[in-house]
Amino acid sequence: MFDYRSVIRTVPPTAEPVSLLEAKQQLHLDISEDDNYLQSLIAVSRSYAEHYTQRAFCLSQFTAFYNSLPSVIPLPYPPANASKPAVLEARDSDWNWRPLEENEWYFDSFSEPAIATVIRTPSWVSNIHPGQYGDPGCRITWWAGYSADGENVPVMVKQAILLLTAHYYERRLAADALGGSEVPFGVQVLLDAVKWRFYS
């Protein structure tokens, strides 16, 4: 389904789905000495949950690269966020990036996954095979995530992040005699409910 050469997160989220206070409440923790460490564990837990579900939780920007300009482009890491515009670019005859105009393509952010559709291929789009330069001939940049502040992230995701954060905090090793597992079973059960199925 996804024929991109590569996809990168170009702008990371500025917030997390759960707060430091929520994590401390989960742990019944009333000290502040470990606040920075706990905050880093929240970020690690969110990253794991995003990788496992193949979703973006808080507002982030992604860019996907393609060999040439496709007619239909399904985009990974749902849900797409329409609060900021997407940009579709292709190489011109001088091999420079040039954006398509609004009347040349359509971005359906409500589909899952989101889909970019080229209505009309511009005459200036290069027909040089990308192998001659080694660089991609098309790229699309879009925003994804439930919200910027994490408020709209599904409650099951939030609970999974809290459980995983507590697990990492209480067990500093990958696996130990108490837990035996790197990731608690309950975390995966919660995340399976929102996992993007078409990746597997």
Q: Give me the phi and psi of 40, to 5 degrees please.
A: -65, -35
Token output for 3:
């024929």
Domain formed by 17-57+153-199, architecture = Orthogonal Bundle (1.10)
CB atoms within 10 A of CB 96: 11
pLDDT at residue number 81 = 96
Long-range contacts of 38-42 (CB under 8 A, 24+ apart): 38/165, 38/169, 41/165, 41/168, 41/169, 42/16, 42/18, 42/161, 42/165
pLDDT one-digit tens code per residue, 84-135? 999 999 999 888 999 999 999 999 999 999 999 999 999 999 877 655 567 8
> Where is average pLDDT lowest: 4-8, 58-62, 77-81, 159-163?
4-8
Portion of the chain with pLDDT greater than 90, in percent:
76
Highest mean pLDDT among 28-32, 159-163, 188-192: 159-163
pLDDT above 90 (res 4): no
| Longest alpha-carbon distance in the chain | 65
pLDDT at residue number 180 = 55
Query: Environment class of residue 113 by beta-carbon count within 10 Å: exposed (0-12), middle (13-18) or buried (19+)?
Result: buried
Domain ranges for the chain = 17-57+153-199, 60-144
pLDDT at residue number 186 = 87
Q: pTM of the predicted model, to two decimals?
A: 0.87
pLDDT one-digit tens code per residue, 5-23? 899 999 999 999 999 999 9
**Confidence at 199, pLDDT banded by 50, 70, 90:** very low
pLDDT at residue number 50 = 96
pLDDT one-digit tens code per residue, 181-192? 666 778 989 999
| DSSP for 64-84, written as a single string | EEESS--SEEE-SSSPB-TTS
Token output for 116:
């970019």
